[in-house]
Chain A
Amino acid sequence: MKSSYNSHVKRIILGLVIFAVVGFIGKEISSPKSFGVYGHYRADAIQEEADRDMRHKTNTPCLPCHTHEAGLHKNGLHKTISCEFCHGPMADHITSGIKTGELPVKKGEEIRVLCLRCHNRAIHARPGDVIKTVVMPDHLRDKKVKETHTCNQCHHVHAPYNYIDQAKQALSIKEAS
């Protein structure tokens, strides 16, 4: 190809212009349609998030069926804890009023792991006056039980002081204040 003194410069400029135009068209085509309507995000995302099926549904739908647990839970120290916190989301259990799956009930060693998620003194961020925390296995030694004991052998998981209060009542033990 015959080239004049500035033909390479012309070709470079042409190349840059094509690069910019293709880039701009590519940006327009690939940009989400509703981007920037309200701010620096996709406006459609709001509706998409709102349309998402709820996974957690509070304690209200649990208690009418699980009446035994409801009675204990409502009167125990754990009354403010959501069922789903330990058992998993409601959506895995009931869909449109029909039972679709079993939720896990922790047993044995798993119980200890679950309880210590909140009651472990190693977590300094927990305020001691709100949540009672313990150091394991010191707590088991203090209470003079085997170190293999799991939490739910003394504490009812729905009402932690239930058995303990009953035992104290039966033996007429008074708290030393």
Chain B
Amino acid sequence: MNAAHENAITILTNYVFPNDLHVHWSMMIALYPYITGIVAGAFIVSSLYHVFGVKSLKPISRFSLLFALAFLTCATLPLLFHLGRPERNFNIMLTPNPSSAMAGFGYIYMLYGVVLLLEVLFIYRPTLVYLRKKSQGLMEMIYRALTFDSTNLSPESLELDRKIISFLAAIGIPMACVLHGYVGFIFGGIKANPTWATPLMPVIFLLSACVSGVAGIILVYILIKTFTNKPADTDCVRTCTNYLAGFFILDFVFEMLEVLSHSYLRTAHYHAVDELLNGPLYNSFWIGQVGILSVIPLILLGWLCLTRVNDTLFKIGASLVSFMLLLQVVFMRWNVVIGGQLISKSARGFTVFHPEWFDKEGILTAIVLMCAPLVVLFVISRIFPFWMEEMDEG
């Protein structure tokens, strides 16, 4: 190679525009769809029982709603950490913009929050009325507020509640899908980014949401039961794992389909996507997300769902698969959100993302934010009992 060509190649490779050096959508923006995904997925688990009548999911039907509620309370935190001026967040409510998907967030989030909270209150009403009678002082005040100061549990009243619960659960499903699908829609709508701009993006986000939600429920359910020395309902765990397998097969197929369609169609800037996936993202995409965290769980799920595995082994296997799939979704969010921004608009080079430990949007913040919903879940568990059997004993 002569000197002139060498010079040309140096100039043509890794050419990053000066305004593309910095990855603006940091880990917080990867964390936000992760948390809302868990909300949507957990809600769908509870809807499987409340709307579609999957009886074996009854033991976790209430828990999954509270799980969704706990994560929903923390869903906006990553966004607030990301904003330069977080105190201006209410402006999206004050000046709604119907032509912006991102600006719709405030209203979508609020409506979904109201529906979820109402569903919890209606489902728990008989329990809350019972607890109100048993408690005193502050707790009595809380239960009085949560039951709207009504102790009427007549069959007529419960029948009305049942109808309202069905209605709320039914409208909750499309709303959960909108809440999470639109996150994918925002990414899919960014035309300038070759890895994001695909109509498959909302579908992939939605399916991965279901995966992370169901996996989160299985893992936390088994962990709580193990640490409280209570038996976990095997039938329920098995049904959940079957749904997890179903959602994950669809999710993984669509994730691969996206890469395949880019590759087969040789879409615009395919060379950049190709270099990205086989270059800076090789370890986190092919080895992490696809190899270790998708192929191995698929094999494990096949073993759990298609063969006769004894109960103890099943619970260990289900916990392991759930943990791996929760990580798979973290990797997927990272590869989409951070990975997508590594390509310079020149389509000829990649920037580098350096996460910091003690940054406003750093690793420590991410860890604290992921622990926050579990703390909220613990606080909620002091007010709303998770399990039906505890009530029966009471």
- A residues near B (Cβ < 8 Å) are 1, 3-9, 11-12, 15-16, 23, 27, 30-32, 35-36, 40, 123-125
If A123-B18, A125-B18 touch, whether A6 touches B157 (CB-CB below 8 Å) is yes
Identify which of A3, A12, A30, A40 contacts B97 (C-beta below 8 A).
A40
- A124 contacts B11, C-beta separation under 8 Å: yes
Inter-chain CA distance A125–B16, complex, in Å, is: 9
Residue of A nearest to B90 (CB): A30
Is B164 close to A, CB under 8 A?
Answer: yes
Inter-chain CA distance A32–B95, complex, in Å, is: 9
- B151 contacts A3, C-beta separation under 8 Å: yes
- B154 contacts A5, C-beta separation under 8 Å: yes
Inter-chain CA distance A7–B157, complex, in Å, is: 9
Inter-chain CA distance A15–B121, complex, in Å, is: 14
8 CB-based A-B contacts, threshold 8 Å: A1-B149, A1-B150, A3-B151, A5-B154, A5-B160, A8-B147, A27-B93, A30-B90
- A124 contacts B15, C-beta separation under 8 Å: yes
- A11 contacts B94, C-beta separation under 8 Å: no
Nearest CB of chain B from residue A30's CB, rounded to whole Å: 5
Note all chain B residues with C-beta closer than 8 A to A123.
18
Nearest CB of chain B from residue A134's CB, rounded to whole Å: 15
Note all chain B residues with C-beta closer than 8 A to A6.
157, 160
Nearest CB of chain A from residue B91's CB, rounded to whole Å: 9
- B95 contacts A40, C-beta separation under 8 Å: yes
Is B383 close to A, CB under 8 A?
Answer: no
Nearest CB of chain B from residue A139's CB, rounded to whole Å: 17
Residue of A nearest to B156 (CB): A5
| B109-136, CB < 8 A from A | 114, 118, 121, 125
Inter-chain CA distance A56–B392, complex, in Å, is: 76
User: Which of A8, A12, A36 gathers the greatest number of chain B CB atoms within 10 Å?
Assistant: A8
Note all chain A residues with C-beta closer than 8 A to B303.
none
Residue of A nearest to B11 (CB): A124
Nearest CB of chain A from residue B258's CB, rounded to whole Å: 32
Inter-chain CA distance A77–B157, complex, in Å, is: 88
Q: Mark B149-171, 1 if CB is under 8 A from A, else 0.
A: 11110101100100010000000
Identify which of A11, A30, A32, A125 contacts B148 (C-beta below 8 A).
A11
Inter-chain CA distance A3–B132, complex, in Å, is: 15
Inter-chain CA distance A104–B365, complex, in Å, is: 40
Note all chain B residues with C-beta closer than 8 A to A1.
149-150
Residue of B nearest to A4 (CB): B152
Q: Mark B203-244, 1 if CB is under 8 A from A, else 0.
A: 000000000000000000000000000000000000000000
Residue of A nearest to B158 (CB): A5
Further 11 A-B residue pairs, CB within 8 A, beyond A3-B149, A4-B152, A8-B148: A5-B157, A7-B148, A7-B150, A8-B147, A8-B152, A8-B157, A11-B148, A11-B149, A16-B114, A40-B97, A125-B17
Q: Chain B interface: which size bin? A: 20 to 34
Note all chain B residues with C-beta closer than 8 A to A40.
95, 97, 99
User: Which of A1, A5, A12, A35 gathers the greatest number of chain B CB atoms within 10 Å?
Assistant: A5
Note all chain A residues with C-beta closer than 8 A to B151.
3
Inter-chain CA distance A123–B152, complex, in Å, is: 74
Identify which of A4, A8, A36 contacts B125 (C-beta below 8 A).
A8
User: Which of B17, B90, B95, B118 gathers the greatest number of chain A CB atoms within 10 Å?
Assistant: B95
Inter-chain CA distance A141–B387, complex, in Å, is: 78
If A5-B154, A125-B17 touch, whether A31 touches B95 (CB-CB below 8 Å) is yes
Inter-chain CA distance A120–B154, complex, in Å, is: 82
| B297-311, CB < 8 A from A | none
Note all chain A residues with C-beta closer than 8 A to B99.
40
Note all chain A residues with C-beta closer than 8 A to B118.
12
Nearest CB of chain B from residue A111's CB, rounded to whole Å: 22
- B149 contacts A31, C-beta separation under 8 Å: no
Note all chain A residues with C-beta closer than 8 A to B97.
40
| B89-113, CB < 8 A from A | 90, 93-95, 97, 99
Note all chain B residues with C-beta closer than 8 A to A27.
93-94
Note all chain A residues with C-beta closer than 8 A to B152.
3-5, 7-8
Identify which of B94, B148, B154 contacts A12 (C-beta below 8 A).
B148
Nearest CB of chain B from residue A18's CB, rounded to whole Å: 13
Q: Mark B78-95, 1 if CB is under 8 A from A, else 0.
A: 000000000000100111
Residue of A nearest to B19 (CB): A125
Closest 9 CB pairs of A and B: A8-B150, A5-B157, A3-B150, A11-B148, A8-B148, A5-B156, A3-B152, A7-B150, A31-B94
Note all chain B residues with C-beta closer than 8 A to A35.
95
Residue of B nearest to A19 (CB): B114
Note all chain B residues with C-beta closer than 8 A to A124.
11, 15
Note all chain B residues with C-beta closer than 8 A to A16.
114
Residue of B nearest to A27 (CB): B94
Inter-chain CA distance A9–B158, complex, in Å, is: 11
Inter-chain CA distance A11–B18, complex, in Å, is: 58
Note all chain B residues with C-beta closer than 8 A to A8.
125, 147-150, 152, 157
If A16-B114, A27-B94 touch, whether A9 touches B17 (CB-CB below 8 Å) is no
